[in-house]
Amino acid sequence: MSMLNLATCSSDLECLDRLKAEASKLKAGEWVLAFGARTESWTDRRWPTRAELDAAIPDRACAVMSFDHHAVCANSRAMTKGGFDEASRDPAAGVIMRDARTGVATGLLLETAAYAVWNAAPEPAAAQRDEHVRLALADLTRHGFVEVHDLLSPDWLGPTLAALDDRGELPVRVKLFPAVARLARAVEASRSWRRDRVELAGGKLFADGTLNSRTAWMLRPYADPLPEMPCGKPMATREEIASALRLTQSFGLPLATHAIGDGAVRAVLDAVEEVGREREKNSAGPRHRIEHAELIDEADLGRFSRLRVVASVQPCHLLTDIEALTRSLPDRLGRVLPLRSLIDDGCEPGDLLVFGSDTPIVRANPEDSVLAATERRREGMAREESIAPEQSITLEEAWRAFGGR
């Protein structure tokens, strides 16, 4: 909320102009950081090149995060800070995009490559960090939220929230889900910061990327795939997902797995089923969650209720993904957010079907998800432009999925 927001940007040229204006306000050496870029909505549908960023921001590192947080466009200084040069190979579960003709890095980085650069920027000071948390909580409460699930919790967040709660300044209940790789450490550390309104609630894992980046893991190829990635980019194998499930279960906690494509959703359900067979008879275990589940193959719909897996979805993504869906997956629009089918197959709203904001990927207003779930299109769009209108649900069902009304 204190960073340059490019959500209203309309082209790569406007992006460069706004980055230059932001740079003029900063002290020498400070990074230019921006977020919210959605190139599908830009007139030219292209990111600025690394050369263009270097020309616009020549004297400091600059990194622009996509609105879905799975791509970063960086200048040469930022790429160097992130550990990349022209000879660098793609990191595990990441992609360094290159010019098809010359092989030169374009400055666009996906998945773990994106975060290597983004995380190279200096962290805010503790006082700034506390203020950022206050601003975020105030925004959520302003939109009516009474509970927050933080789904990639850093080590400092639990103690920060506990301190707010001890001073009577925490306005909502907060549940933390650190990355599964740090879960054991978080379990130990949480003994000092757990409160009635602050708890460690599970672990987080990424099974794939996103639709706009074409890194969501699909069962069948995209209409316009990335080079050498016809079905997207798996971020974890089924075996790795199963291992993460066993780890979280050993602490009596659920796993929340980011899975957007139908291939990733199936991999998670397969892993849950495999691990479930290992439990003792009549032992229920924690209810695991699939975050987003934006495309679900018809064969997998009934498995959510049968396996007691929570479909934790954010219908508001349909509003921002319409261009990507119609361009990249025109043959599968009927499988996008099949909410009606999930409910009819036994996923009760507010129980096995839950809605969340997914802020700051998108704005926190719950009305966006209610609109998407009930109308399946943006405000002002014609009815015939709806995405899978047969999957719409009622207003009452949508609010129940948010746990209210």
Instruction: Give the pLDDT confidence of 11-47 residue by residue, as tens digits.
Output: 999 999 999 999 999 999 999 999 999 998 899 889 9
Specify whether the CB–CB gap between 369 and 316 falls below 8 A: yes
The CATH 3.10.310.70 domain(s) of the chain lie at: 4-118
- Tokens describing residue 4: 């340059």
Burial of 254 (0-12, 13-18, 19+ CB in 10 A): buried
β-partners of residue 5 are 35
Percent of the chain with pLDDT strictly greater than 70 = 99
Instruction: Report the CATH fold assignment for 202-401.
Output: TIM Barrel (3.20.20)
H helix or E strand, kind and range, residue 184: helix 183-193
Residue 282 in this model has a pLDDT that exceeds 70: no
Residue 283 in this model has a pLDDT that exceeds 80: no
Collect all residues with Cβ–Cβ distance below 8 Å to 13 and sequence separation of at least 6.
none
The CATH 3.20.20.140 domain(s) of the chain lie at: 202-401
pLDDT grade, residue 284 (50/70/90)? Answer: confident
Residue 280 in this model has a pLDDT that exceeds 80: no
Specify whether the CB–CB gap between 67 and 320 falls below 8 A: yes
Mean pLDDT along residues 358-373? 94
pLDDT of amino acid 279: 78
Mean pLDDT along residues 264-286? 88
- Name the pTM for this structure: 0.90
Per DSSP, the three-state class of 338 is coil
Mean pLDDT along residues 360-374? 95
219/270 Cα distance (integer angstroms): 14
- For the chain, the average pLDDT equals 95
308/306 Cα distance (integer angstroms): 6
Residue 405 in this model has a pLDDT that exceeds 60: no
Residue 2 in this model has a pLDDT that exceeds 90: no
pLDDT of amino acid 251: 97
Collect all residues with Cβ–Cβ distance below 8 Å to 349 and sequence separation of at least 6.
343, 393, 397, 398, 400, 401
CATH class of 4-118: alpha beta
Specify whether the CB–CB gap between 286 and 254 falls below 8 A: yes
